[in-house]
């Protein structure tokens, strides 16, 4: 089937609009830091009485209960974060709806950008009559879309608005690179990629990568916030203290990151299995230590190490965050260096 | 209530008496266990991983295998077309000793053994020994040029599709090229030579087979 | 956790080790000297500990890195040779360390064998223990519930027995496993988590086993097939045969394949011009001699399955057809010669023709085939991969090809050490054109071209078991992630004033993500509602020491 040029153009313009909207949203988030009023309450949960933890967590369905909590119910147990998150949002509950102007503008721009982003992905798919993740350009645009969707859900659900700057910033850079340096015009796939396994394997890898991107960004924020907290506790002077005062607590960020990895890890596992099944159908062997396969395995091992570390006393916190970042580094190496520079069977899936 | 035992976890405290020497010895023990495992099993498994040899045909592990009269399998019924175009079958040679040689004009060890085969064929021509070739993956022009060059007078079956080798799959398959099979008067495959056949070696095999009762 | 009692610590004589039977909880160095058996046991304990398994797993990942960055023999031998040329002093050293065949190296095998042993030694006994304790009861409720991470406490007018019965009924309704005692109820839920965890690790073992089975009982083979030719799956007819350790030539499935037609189409316009869009190989095959022939359209991602073996279309190329007449006037060569592509954009292909039976001298030719020959500033190239304007250009040699003795040669390489180049300039030949060699050495005619496909034949009995093991591992992983093991305790005691004090305690055994707090709160609320429904009372909740409080040292914190 011939390429639908109209759809291809629409996709291209939609992605440009996405970059613009996200860039403006980043500006709005930054302005919120600089000029916004602290609508989410100045106190951090570490300074709140611990009683809030249980009080907030009591369900609204007990009419005779003592002090009914003001905040929203945390939601169904798994994977609800429990009351630990809501102290940051407890303030929001107390002043629900009174978000700062800049934050509202930023969220609106993010939503607009996300809509354009999704439009771009879908129209690209319609242009090429297949799932729109068949080459490096399509992969990057789709992964960033997935990452922003994840983050949007996290942000709204757990009211982690202030993390927007740290997630959208890299996304803007990635998308900008995608549109300029690695842009590939809409086209057919080579015969080796013409298989329904493309939809299965690359979709799960894309979703997992999106989740891992968000988790890695959260880990970076966690490490910075944790360092700030430790320095503040030790009485040392800290820079950019204002930002960390209004971000969620490091522990909260860490838990968010963990949950995101828990979401992404089975997807990554499934992606590897689906890739193995596809490799078996295409090349006759389900595992041949192709460089991309090898680095996907290495990434898997490091994230598995992160999960074990998180469950081991003494390795929680900073050490496991670093392990997670090493895992993300392996993922980046796999996506960028191995696909482009190292010759292997996956090479044709990269740049043409 | 009895506690369910579990895998030993990392224990942060170490025994008060646990000299470093013991730890070093322990580490050495584990390392040598690993090396021992390597030597025995690791290499064995490692060998099964394929590695390209850069050539484009299977040479096979060279060597001679001799089958005793009890386990020598009967040669299959082989029929084909010679390079000259005539139909020929192995059964036509029943009662004679047959030397069946799989070859190709493009194959260096086949060319190296061709003079030996030609002179053995001439030497045993009136002794009830017949030579028959099977030409693999060749074109008639190259095969005929080869036979002219090495003065091969015995016939060869043209087998571009590999069907004749397939006939031998359950008995004594030619496991590489060249392969030479020696078939007794009773029609049993008594020897297989993989790789270049030497004049004295093949001559000895033929003589021994001739000496067997028919 | 009890460590090994040392004489210095307790003043007792050093304990005799090893103790027969019974679990020991030691991770450190044994205190007293003991014999070979004791050392062996200690080594085994170290090997099967989770820390060792994780170290080995990381080691496996780290060991894979050179295998992905350096060229590997099994994947691209030409790249290895180029590496030798580029790094002449470093390359032999790397080869000695097996760094050009990492995944076949003994040290790599040692790592995954040790990992296999470690995993098996830990997971299999734990599986047996899980099976044995499938009906295990929750632990007793601790005497002091307020030391648990999550607690609640209130008073109710119900009698203690009634309160406990109501709580037990509610928890049983939520599928908690119950155990009752004098004045307390203990409930536990989420046993599937351990099952899922073990299932995942067992399945990983299964994957390793499947890989070993495939490696031992399977084989891989390759064959290049020109259009019009056929081949049989025998050792003499294959280009390469890599059997597993338990496979021999008699085990090859006896199918035959004939290549009737091959069609390749390429993108003709736009930015992706020249990229292949379709490959179709029309083949006929039969599972064994005498069986009927079937047709099949072989494409990438659509292998042929015959007799348990699968045949894959891996590559394709051109095989120009030549006829060579030697000095005596006889036709000494007439057939297709497969040329191998050296670049993908225009499929410029290189190849050699060897004519060993030419007289008076052996002849050899080396050159290129250009599907769409164009002259770019004096240099020949191919502008498009389809054969729109085919041409060959060859360099001619005569002399000794080196084929009459010595080691076997590759049919794609010409050994020019015994040859001299003939004084005839290579010029592009169109189909039908000839090249007359000087000194009466003969004539070469480029009569036409055919196409060829390369096939990969694989037989791997471990594929399906590996897939099943992989999916099982995923299922176990999901179970262990999303099922949490948690305990609820209820104590009801009579208090002065005719009322009953009800204490609730909760503990999550494996809750790194948090989340049990809300479930505990929900359950507490429901239990207290149930009590209230029968006897309204003042509700008074109290906080526990916080989720980061130290776990209680007695029974409830056990038995993960």
How high is the ipTM of this complex? 0.76
Task: List CB contacts of C550: < 8 A, sequence separation 6 or more.
Answer: none
For range C517-534, the mean pLDDT: 84
**Of A58, A191, A342, Cβ closest to residue C69:** A342
Strand partners, C348: none
Position A135 in a domain: yes
Of C57, C68, C518, the CB nearest to A338: C68
* Chain C residues close to A344, C-beta within 8 Å: 75
Condensed to tens digits (0 to 9), the pLDDT of residues B120-144 reads 999 998 888 999 999 999 999 999 9
C424 by Cβ neighbours in 10 Å (0-12 / 13-18 / 19+) ranks as middle
Cβ contacts of C358 on chain B, cutoff 8 Å:
145
Distance from CA of A38 to the nearest CA of C (A): 28
| pLDDT for the residue C410 | 82
Angle at B55 between CA B50 and CA C317, to 5 degrees: 100
Rounded Cα gap, residues B200 and B116, in angstroms? 9
pLDDT at A348 > cutoff 90: no
**Ranges A52-61, B48-57, B76-85, C442-451: which has the least confidence:** A52-61
- Residue C9's pLDDT is 38
pLDDT in tens, A150-162: 889 888 887 777 7
Contact A81 C515 (CB under 8 A): yes
In Å, the largest CA–CA distance within chain C is 127
End-to-end CA distance of chain B: 82
CA C258/CA C414 separation, integer angstroms: 29
CA A347/CA C75 separation, integer angstroms: 14
CB of C106 less than 8 A from some CB of B: yes
Binned at pLDDT 50, 70 and 90, residue A281 comes out as confident
The confidence band for C431, taking pLDDT boundaries of 50, 70 and 90, is very high
- What's chain A's average pLDDT? 77
- Span A206-262, pLDDT tens digits: 999 999 999 999 999 899 888 888 888 887 776 666 667 777 788 888 888 999 999
Q: Which CATH class is domain C138-190+484-534?
A: alpha beta
Q: How confident is the model at residue C124 (pLDDT cuts 50, 70, 90)?
A: confident
- What pLDDT, on a 0 to 100 scale, did the predictor assign at position B41? 46
Question: What is the 3 state secondary structure string of C122-176?
Answer: HHHHHHHHHHHCCCCCCCCCCCCHHHCCEEEEEEECCCHHHHHHHHHHHHHHCCC
Give the residue-averaged pLDDT of B157-172: 89
Q: What is the number of domains present in chain A?
A: 1
Domain limits, chain C: 32-132, 138-190+484-534, 216-316+456-467, 326-444
Distance (Å) from the C-alpha of residue C268 to the closest C-alpha of chain B?
34
Look at the alpha carbons of C358, C361, C367, C373 in this order and tell me if their dihedral is positive or negative. negative
The Cα–Cα gap between B42 and C114 comes to 10
Any idea which residue has 């993908």 for tokens? C344
CA–CA distance, C531 with C502 (Å, rounded to integer): 10
Q: Which DSSP category does B195 fall into?
A: S
Contact at CB, C220 and A284, closer than 8 angstroms = yes
Q: What separation in angstroms does the CA of C376 have from each of B44, C271, C349, C373, C381?
A: 53, 21, 17, 10, 7
Residues in C touching B52 (Cβ below 8 Å): 73-74, 77, 240
The span from the CA of A27 to the CA of A103, in Å, is: 11
Higher-confidence residue of C449 and C525: namely: C449
- What pLDDT score does B60 carry? 59
Q: Which of C27, C30, C357 sits opposite B11 (nearest CB)?
A: C27
- Beta-carbon separation of A281 and C301 below 8 A: yes
pLDDT in tens, C200-246: 999 999 998 898 888 889 999 999 999 999 999 998 889 888 888 88
pLDDT in tens, A174-217: 888 888 877 888 877 777 788 888 889 989 999 999 999 999 99
Instruction: Count CB-CB contacts under 10 A for residue C64.
Output: 22
C344 interface with A at CB cutoff 8 Å? no
Measured between alpha carbons, how far is C137 from C334 in angstroms, rounded to an integer?
83
Count the helix, strand and coil residues of chain B and give each as a percent rounded to the nearest 5.
35, 20, 45
Helix/strand/coil percentages in chain C, nearest 5: 30, 30, 35
* Beta bridge partner(s), residue C367: C351, C394
pTM comes to 0.76
Query: What's the CATH class of domain B50-210?
Result: alpha beta
Of C34 and B44, the structure prediction assigns the larger pLDDT to C34
Residue A349 counted as domain residue: no
| CA dist., res. A333 & res. A328, Å (int) | 8
Q: Give the bridge partners for C380, in sequence order.
A: C375
Q: Which residues of A touch C525 (CB under 8 A)?
A: 58-59, 61-62, 65
Residues of chain C found within 8 Å of residue B55, distances taken between Cβ atoms: 240, 408-411
Q: Is the pLDDT assigned to residue B5 strictly greater than 60? A: no
Question: Average pLDDT of C60-84?
Answer: 85
H or E segment and range at residue A309: helix A291-310
């Amino acid at each position: 089937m011939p390429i639908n040029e109209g759809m291809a153009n629409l996709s291209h313009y939609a992605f440009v609009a996405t970059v613009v909207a996200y860039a403006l949203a980043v500006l709005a988030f930054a302005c919120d830091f600089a000029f916004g009023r602290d609508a989410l309450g100045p106190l951090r949960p570490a300074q709140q009485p611990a009683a809030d933890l249980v009080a907030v967590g009591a369900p609204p369905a007990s009419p005779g209960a003592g002090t009914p909590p003001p905040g929203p119910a945390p939601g169904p147990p798994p994977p609800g974060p429990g009351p630990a998150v809501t102290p940051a949002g407890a303030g929001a509950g107390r002043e629900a709806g009174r978000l700062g102007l800049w934050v509202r503008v930023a969220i609106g721009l993010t939503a607009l950008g996300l809509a354009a982003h999704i439009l771009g992905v879908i129209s690209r798919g319609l242009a090429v009559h297949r799932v729109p993740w068949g080459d490096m350009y399509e992969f990057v645009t789709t992964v960033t879309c997935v990452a922003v969707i994840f983050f949007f859900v996290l942000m709204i659900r757990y009211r982690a608005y202030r993390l927007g700057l740290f997630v959208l910033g890299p996304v803007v850079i990635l998308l900008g690179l995608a549109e300029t340096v690695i842009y590939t015009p809409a086209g057919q796939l080579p015969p080796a990629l013409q298989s329904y396994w493309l939809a299965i394997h690359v979709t799960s890898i894309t979703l997992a990568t999106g989740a891992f991107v968000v988790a890695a960004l959260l880990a970076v924020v966690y490490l910075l916030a944790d360092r700030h907290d430790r320095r503040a506790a030790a009485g040392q002077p800290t820079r950019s203290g204002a930002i960390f005062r209004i971000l969620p607590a490091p522990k909260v960020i860490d838990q968010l990151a963990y949950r995101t990895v828990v979401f992404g890890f089975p997807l990554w596992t499934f992606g590897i299995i689906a890739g193995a099944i596809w490799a078996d159908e295409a090349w006759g062997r389900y595992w041949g230590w192709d460089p991309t396969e090898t680095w996907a395995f290495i990434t898997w091992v490091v994230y598995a190490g992160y999960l074990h570390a998180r469950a081991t006393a003494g390795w929680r916190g900073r050490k496991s965050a670093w392990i997670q970042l090493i895992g993300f580094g392996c993922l980046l190496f796999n996506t960028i260096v191995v696909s482009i520079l190292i010759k292997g069977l996956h090479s044709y899936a990269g740049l043409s | 209530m009895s506690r369910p035992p579990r895998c030993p976890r990392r224990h942060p405290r170490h025994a008060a008496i646990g000299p470093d020497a013991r730890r070093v010895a322990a580490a050495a023990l584990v390392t040598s266990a690993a090396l021992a495992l390597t030597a025995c099993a690791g290499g064995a498994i490692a060998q099964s991983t394929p590695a390209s040899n850069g050539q484009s045909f299977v040479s096979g592990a060279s060597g001679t295998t001799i089958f005793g009269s009890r386990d020598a399998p009967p040669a299959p019924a082989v029929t084909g077309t010679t390079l000259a175009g005539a139909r020929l079958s192995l059964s036509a040679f029943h009662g004679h000793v047959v030397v069946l040689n799989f070859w190709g004009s493009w194959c260096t060890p086949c060319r190296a053994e061709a003079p030996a085969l030609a002179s053995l064929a001439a030497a045993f021509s009136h002794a009830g020994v017949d030579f028959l070739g099977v030409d693999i993956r060749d074109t008639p022009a190259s095969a005929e040029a080869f036979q002219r060059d090495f003065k091969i007078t015995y016939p060869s079956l043209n087998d571009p599709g590999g069907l004749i080798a397939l006939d031998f799959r359950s008995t004594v398959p030619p496991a590489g090229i060249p392969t030479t099979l020696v078939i007794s008067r009773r029609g049993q495959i008594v020897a297989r030579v993989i790789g270049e056949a030497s004049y004295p070696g093949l001559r000895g095999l033929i003589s021994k087979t001739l000496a067997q009762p028919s | 956790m009890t460590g090994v009692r040392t004489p210095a610590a307790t003043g007792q004589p050093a304990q005799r080790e090893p103790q027969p039977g019974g679990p020991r909880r030691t991770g450190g160095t044994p205190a007293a000297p003991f014999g070979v058996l004791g050392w062996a046991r200690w080594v085994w304990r170290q090997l099967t500990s989770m820390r060792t398994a994780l170290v080995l797993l990381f080691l496996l990942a780290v060991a894979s890195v050179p295998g992905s960055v350096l060229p590997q023999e099994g994947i691209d031998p030409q790249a290895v040779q180029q590496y030798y040329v580029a790094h002449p002093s470093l390359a032999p050293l790397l080869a000695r360390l097996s760094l050009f065949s990492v995944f076949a190296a003994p040290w790599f095998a040692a790592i995954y064998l040790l990992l296999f042993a470690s995993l098996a030694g830990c997971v299999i006994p734990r599986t047996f223990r899980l099976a044995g304790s499938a009906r295990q009861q929750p632990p007793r409720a601790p005497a002091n519930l307020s030391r648990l991470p999550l607690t609640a406490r209130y008073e109710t007018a119900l009698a203690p027995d009634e309160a406990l019965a109501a709580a037990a009924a509610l928890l049983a309704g939520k599928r908690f496993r119950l155990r009752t005692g004098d004045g307390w109820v203990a409930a536990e839920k989420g046993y599937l988590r351990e099952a899922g965890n073990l299932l995942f690790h067992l399945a990983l073992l299964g994957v390793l086993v499947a890989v070993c089975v495939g490696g031992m009982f399977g084989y891989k083979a390759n064959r290049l097939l020109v259009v019009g030719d056929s081949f049989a799956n025998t050792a003499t007819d294959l280009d390469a045969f890599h059997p597993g350790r338990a496979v021999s030539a008699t085990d090859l499935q006896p199918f035959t394949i004939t290549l009737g037609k091959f069609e390749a189409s390429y993108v003709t316009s736009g930015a992706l011009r020249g990229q292949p869009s379709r490959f179709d190989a029309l083949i006929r095959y039969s599972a064994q001699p005498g069986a009927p022939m079937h047709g099949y359209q072989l494409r990438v991602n659509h292998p042929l399955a015959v007799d348990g073996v699968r045949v894959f279309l891996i590559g394709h190329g051109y095989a120009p057809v030549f006829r060579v007449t030697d000095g005596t006037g006889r036709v000494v060569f007439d057939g297709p010669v497969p040329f191998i592509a050296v670049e993908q954009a225009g499929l410029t292909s290189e190849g050699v023709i060897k004519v060993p039976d030419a007289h008076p001298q052996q002849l050899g030719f080396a050159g290129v085939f250009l599907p769409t020959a164009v002259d770019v500033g004096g240099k020949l190239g191919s502008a498009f991969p389809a054969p729109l304007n085919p041409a060959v250009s060859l360099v001619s040699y005569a002399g000794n090809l080196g084929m009459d003795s010595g080691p076997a040669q590759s049919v794609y390489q010409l050994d020019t050490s015994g040859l001299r180049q003939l004084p005839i300039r290579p010029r592009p030949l169109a189909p039908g054109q000839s090249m007359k060699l000087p000194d009466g050495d003969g004539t070469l005619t480029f009569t036409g071209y055919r196409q060829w496909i390369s096939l990969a034949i694989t037989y791997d009995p471990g594929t399906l078991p590996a897939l099943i093991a992989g999916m099982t591992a995923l299922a176990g992983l999901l179970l262990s992630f999303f099922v949490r093991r948690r305990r609820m305790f209820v104590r009801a005691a009579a208090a002065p004033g005719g009322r009953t004090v009800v204490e609730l305690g909760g503990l999550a055994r494996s809750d790194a993500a948090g989340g049990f707090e809300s479930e505990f709160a929900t359950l507490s609320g429901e239990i207290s509602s149930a009590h209230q429904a029968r006897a309204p009372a003042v509700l008074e909740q109290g906080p526990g020491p916080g989720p980061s409080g130290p776990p209680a040292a007695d029974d409830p914190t056990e038995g993960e």
